[in-house]
Chain A
């Protein structure tokens, strides 16, 4: 065996310390995941009512302000809101989101711009020369509802002005601790027909102060709530993905340690055998 004992020992030391680090990171992410999941489940339950209620209102009226409806203007500029993390070491979490966003951008060859939440997405798209109109580097679990309001306001303003014609949210949706899936959702404009989950009602609804004003209030609110719940969900996914990645890393490190241990023992045994041969042959020669 050609490996020297010292080399193997050195590698073992470095793998052991790596294993300590990944294991610690796994525990930290597990704790963060628990907290994020609690927030997510709570907000998911509530926001369900809000989005449901807003969607119902949209579907049951005939006179939504035209600019929010699909087909009222040509879609030239699409704005993608991309939710990534600001920290790495979370497996395929960021690259999955980026891949999905890139696929969408390529499919629509028109002008695209990006609102990036999390630095990983920003860095990638900046390098590829895609116009980034806003970026928020804060880690997603620290973003409050108020901050979300501030994020969505400029997007809606630009939409109203006609600078962007479509808003698509790309984020990771949480299925279970082991399974997350990238999703893209169109926030604006609406297409009331495509949502089969919402029951159509024929009853007359009273609006106050006026339908127009109710919608002017509800549309931004809808975008805000959707964005906020996506941020909360994405934060949960980030921690789940990181926990998985770190668990795999820890397992790999342990496996590697086992192999190295074997190599080390073999090298030691070889050295002992060599020494024995030397002693025996030395004493034989003296006879």
Chain B
């Protein structure tokens, strides 16, 4: 059996996950990156996207959508995410509705305040990532 490492995933509203895992794959700003036990210490910022956790002894991954944050890898891993949802908790219809709402807003308010436009773009990105995760994520075929 491969080495395991302790993982804690925290969001503002709850302790999202706690347990020993074999591997976690997170979307860093430079693309997806996997961390296993005995990784060199690192602190990396995370993008909006999908996160995958492999528990010991299982072949597949537990998939969740996360909305940015950071990962702190030391002798244990701590992931902080602004928001996180497991695949099975996701409401695809709501994500779709959010996507449509963000798109409409962007179409109408192209030239409004920069911050607002950016916020809407992030909203859109989150909605798309949630929809993707709800459909099984990038690892659906495996």
Point out residues on A near B: beta carbons under 8 Å. 42, 45-46, 49-50, 53, 56-57, 145, 201, 203-209, 213-214, 217-218, 221, 225, 228
Given contacts A50-B80, A217-B70, A218-B70, contact A204 B40 (CB under 8 A): yes
Residue B10 CB within 8 A of the other chain = yes
CB pair B45 A203 closer than 8 Å: no
CA distance A217 to B14 in the complex (A): 21
CB pair B29 A208 closer than 8 Å: yes
Contact of B72 among A53, A204, A209, A225 (CB under 8 A): A53
Point out residues on B near A: beta carbons under 8 Å. 8, 10, 12-15, 28-30, 40-45, 70, 72, 74, 78, 80
CA distance A205 to B41 in the complex (A): 5
Q: List 11 A-B contacts (CB under 8 A).
A: A42-B14, A53-B78, A145-B13, A204-B41, A205-B43, A206-B41, A206-B43, A208-B28, A208-B42, A213-B45, A225-B12
CB pair B45 A49 closer than 8 Å: no
CA distance A225 to B12 in the complex (A): 8
B8 neighbours in A (Cβ, 8 Å):
49
> Which A-chain residue is minimally distant from B12 (CB atoms)?
A145
With both chains docked as a complex, state the minimum distance between the C-beta of A233 and any C-beta of chain B, in angstroms: 15
> Which B-chain residue is minimally distant from A217 (CB atoms)?
B45
Contact of A45 among B13, B15, B29, B41 (CB under 8 A): B15
CA distance A204 to B15 in the complex (A): 28
A45 neighbours in B (Cβ, 8 Å):
15
A56 neighbours in B (Cβ, 8 Å):
72, 74
Given contacts A204-B41, A213-B45, A214-B45, contact A46 B72 (CB under 8 A): no
B43 neighbours in A (Cβ, 8 Å):
57, 205-208, 214
> Which B-chain residue is minimally distant from A45 (CB atoms)?
B15
With both chains docked as a complex, state the minimum distance between the C-beta of A129 and any C-beta of chain B, in angstroms: 33
A57 neighbours in B (Cβ, 8 Å):
43, 72
